[in-house]
Structure 1
Amino acid sequence: MTTYTMAHPASIEDNHYQEHILQGVSRTFALTIPQLPPSLYPVIGNAYLLCRIVDTVEDDNGLSSEQTRKFAEMFIQVVSGKVAAEAFAEALFPLLSDHTIPAEHDLIKNTPAVIRITHSFNLTQRKALERCVRIMGQGMADYQDTESLAGLKDLAALNQYCYHVAGVVGEMLTELFCDYSEEINLNKPALMKLAVSFGQGLQMTNILKDIWEDRKRGACWLPQDIFREKGFDLNELQPGCTDPRFDEGLGVLIGIAKAHLRNALTYTCMIPPKETGIRRFCLWALGMAVLTLNKINQNRSFIQGEQVKISRKSVKATVLITSALARQDWALQQMFALTSRHLPEVDVLGKKV
């Protein structure tokens, strides 16, 4: 089989493009990724763009289910060097709808530049990126086929969904951190387990924030069993819902997300304190997720994600405080306890504690 892996090595222009497009497709990651050590910054920035391309394929409602699966599979082959990135970009770009933001249109058009950078990394890094894209791409295509307003079957199905879209990213980042540092690598088994929980905490926060935007496009990622136990049918869910049974179910999910974010803090504290850049990268995402959960918890009848989005002032405060405390595990634990004190206490199995 022909491979295209190093036909066109990455150039200075490719790297400039990567830095530029990161600003366009994610304000949050454009903020956190530069905190990483210089040798990790390019590979994790590239990894984010690869995931964003998969996300764009999955999210564009102008693509049929068959097209989504076709392009997801094609991109997996592109990342592994078996299909030319140019062929992928030329086939997908004209099919993108207005649902996809201009920066993502640009990203798809310039997939070859992103892939040239991907193929410049060492073997361990490339294998980590390839595995992540493969699991994410296949999983997203499968879940798109089953999207409905009825929600996912149960909490186990939600866990599986979160693994495919976020837990696997946590595993990839951990592989990259362990490749970068022998000291981090000593804790690899424990970190890998916690990484999946870290990813799930962030993803559940996004799912809760985006309930209404997802429903507008015909999707619901909430688990039926959690709400059924409270006597609520997700098919009956409407914006502005004030049903106390829905409120209770939402509280359980907020509590489960909090438990996963507590694991995220444990993960972060296992990173050597001297690696302040990696710790900041983790802490900023964690801190913003806790603040978002607080907003959702305080306004469970919100009708659009904008109502529970944290302010720029809150983002700046999170950055300043977590950066100042980045090396101090005890202080970080106290800060987590303080900022999450009003959130429900639920273990990751969904039971109140």
Structure 2
Amino acid sequence: MSTDPVTHELLHDILKQVSRSFYLTLNVLPVGVRDQMGLSYLFARAADTIADTDLLDRPQRLRYLNQFSSQFAHAEIDWKAIQEIQAALVPHQKDSAESILLQRLADCLKLYEKCSAGDRERIQWLMKVLPEGMKMDLTRFPGESSGQLAALSTLDELDQYTYYVAGCVGEFWTRMVCAHRPAMARWNVTEMSAIGVRFGKGLQLTNIVKDVARDLHNGRCYVPESLLAEAGLKPADLLVEGNLPKFRPILNQLIGLAMEHLDQGWIYTISLPVSEIRQRLACMWPILLAGETLKRVAVSSDLLNPAVNVKVPRSVVYRVMALTTLTCANSYVATSYWDHLRNQVA
């Protein structure tokens, strides 16, 4: 990306307006990849905003999502198409940050045009794959409420979905840091990208089991029907809180799968050069907090209650950040913490 200070400041101004929390997290990343990651986040969030604008019907959202993602498939930006997206979606935004993002979409795309050819290619790849998960949500789940509940069919379908919405991010991340960080020169990009995919899938599965009740009441059951059938359950049965004991074996299976993916994510993290402290922290934090989340999901007695939010306390978040930061992302200390979490979840 252009090292022009004006370009850098413009990007960071947009990031601060759209998500101050992400902007602060971005600063932990090493120099050389921050701007590319920040810009990619804005594009992914814009696509997600288009897909989630429920005041527009699904065919319209799909059309605008395709229209947006197609900008990354061609050499030239279709500015009229971007204006059409803005005109159609900005008036329907309930969240001011989402509205600001859509209003500043042209600025983001102009920054994208200033990226190096290699960075544009990597972002193009991400924006080809990532929206597929959003399209899957729009086509696989026809409604917005529990009365129109639909479910994924098989574990393979769930695996495909987690790849689209998060696994591909691990692959993208690996390609980007290997292209810009000299210390990563010895990494096998293909091999580590595959491990990065597992990393992303683990984080997404954590979100799925944590938010199972909320998703059900929004018409989406990500727990495959094939798994539910093994326990004599149907998707609608999960709307009844009293069915949690019957659902528990399936839940434990999904938690176990998430932990297997996160174990691969830990291998990925510890494989990072010791000198890449910022990268290590950026990987350690989400894995350790996912483990803390799964620990709470595993023992929750009201997981099927949509009013309950399984959340890691802020004090634990600060503890994780302090422990890893003060020890400079030390492998021994952090791995001891991870192993402790794994034993509690198992």
Is the deviation greater in 254-263 or in 117-126? 117-126
Q: 1 CA distance for matches of 2:15 and 2:306?
A: 25
Q: 2 CA distance for matches of 1:32 and 1:277?
A: 11
State the 1:10 CA deviation: 9.8
Task: Name the residue aligned to 1:215.
Answer: 216
State the 1:189 CA deviation: 2.3
State the 1:183 CA deviation: 3.8
Report how many aligned residue pairs link the two structures.
337
Task: Name the residue aligned to 2:71.
Answer: 78
Task: Name the residue aligned to 2:192.
Answer: 191
Instruction: Determine helix, strand or coil for the equivalent of 1:341.
Output: helix
**Which protein has the bigger helix share?**
2
Q: 2 CA distance for matches of 1:97 and 1:115?
A: 21
Q: Is the 8 A contact 1:274 1:327 kept in 2?
A: no
Task: Name the residue aligned to 1:339.
Answer: 341
From 309, 312, 333, give the equivalent of 1:310.
312
Identify if the C-alpha distance between structure 1 residues 243 and 306 changes in structure 2 by more than 3 Å, giving closer, same or farther: closer
State the 1:265 CA deviation: 0.7
After superposition, residues 1-353 of structure 1 pair within 5 angstroms as 15-23=8-16, 25-26=18-19, 29-80=22-73, 81-85=75-79, 87-96=81-90, 100-147=94-141, 149-187=149-187, 188-238=189-239, 240-302=241-303, 303-304=305-306, 307-344=309-346
Q: 2 CA distance for matches of 1:261 and 1:322?
A: 17
Task: Name the residue aligned to 2:145.
Answer: none
Q: 2 CA distance for matches of 1:211 and 1:25?
A: 27
Q: Report the AA paired with residue 321 of structure 1.
A: L
Q: Report the AA paired with residue 112 of structure 1.
A: A
Deviations 1:84-126 (A, max 9, x none): 3564244335435766522011101111111122222212211
Instruction: Determine helix, strand or coil for the equivalent of 1:115.
Output: helix
Q: 1 CA distance for matches of 2:114 and 2:240?
A: 47
Identify if the C-alpha distance between structure 1 residues 228 and 30 changes in structure 2 by more than 3 Å, giving closer, same or farther: farther
State the 1:83 CA deviation: 2.9
Q: Which runs of 5+ in 2 are unaligned?
A: 143-148
Q: 1 CA distance for matches of 2:82 and 2:281?
A: 35
TM-score by length of 2: 0.88
Q: 1 CA distance for matches of 2:83 and 2:340?
A: 47
State the 1:50 CA deviation: 1.0
Deviations 1:175-219 (A, max 9, x none): 101101244243212211111100001111111222233223222
Identify if the C-alpha distance between structure 1 residues 210 and 270 changes in structure 2 by more than 3 Å, giving closer, same or farther: same
Q: Is the 8 A contact 1:205 1:289 kept in 2?
A: yes
Q: 1 CA distance for matches of 2:317 and 2:17?
A: 18
State the 1:331 CA deviation: 2.6
Q: 2 CA distance for matches of 1:175 and 1:222?
A: 31
Deviations 1:157-185 (A, max 9, x none): 11100111111111111110110124424
The CA RMSD over aligned residues, in Å, is 2.5
Q: Is the 8 A contact 2:150 2:219 kept in 1?
A: no
Task: Name the residue aligned to 2:146.
Answer: none
Identify if the C-alpha distance between structure 1 residues 257 and 232 changes in structure 2 by more than 3 Å, giving closer, same or farther: same
Q: 2 CA distance for matches of 1:201 and 1:48?
A: 19
State the 1:272 CA deviation: 0.5
State the 1:223 CA deviation: 1.6
Q: 1 CA distance for matches of 2:203 and 2:297?
A: 14
Q: Report the AA paired with residue 102 of structure 2.
A: I
Q: Report the AA paired with residue 30 of structure 2.
A: P
State the 1:79 CA deviation: 3.4
Q: Is the 8 A contact 1:265 1:286 kept in 2?
A: yes
Q: 2 CA distance for matches of 1:29 and 1:140?
A: 21
TM-score by length of 1: 0.87
Q: Is the 8 A contact 1:78 1:85 kept in 2?
A: no
Q: 2 CA distance for matches of 1:299 and 1:96?
A: 39
Q: Report the AA paired with residue 339 of structure 2.
A: A
Identify if the C-alpha distance between structure 1 residues 241 and 182 changes in structure 2 by more than 3 Å, giving closer, same or farther: farther
Deviations 1:220-256 (A, max 9, x none): 2122222222222222211534432212211111111
Identify if the C-alpha distance between structure 1 residues 14 and 211 changes in structure 2 by more than 3 Å, giving closer, same or farther: farther
Q: Which runs of 5+ in 1 are unaligned?
A: 1-5, 345-353
Identify if the C-alpha distance between structure 1 residues 240 and 322 changes in structure 2 by more than 3 Å, giving closer, same or farther: farther
Q: 1 CA distance for matches of 2:91 and 2:215?
A: 17
Deviations 1:280-330 (A, max 9, x none): 111111122111112211215232375312222222111111223444323
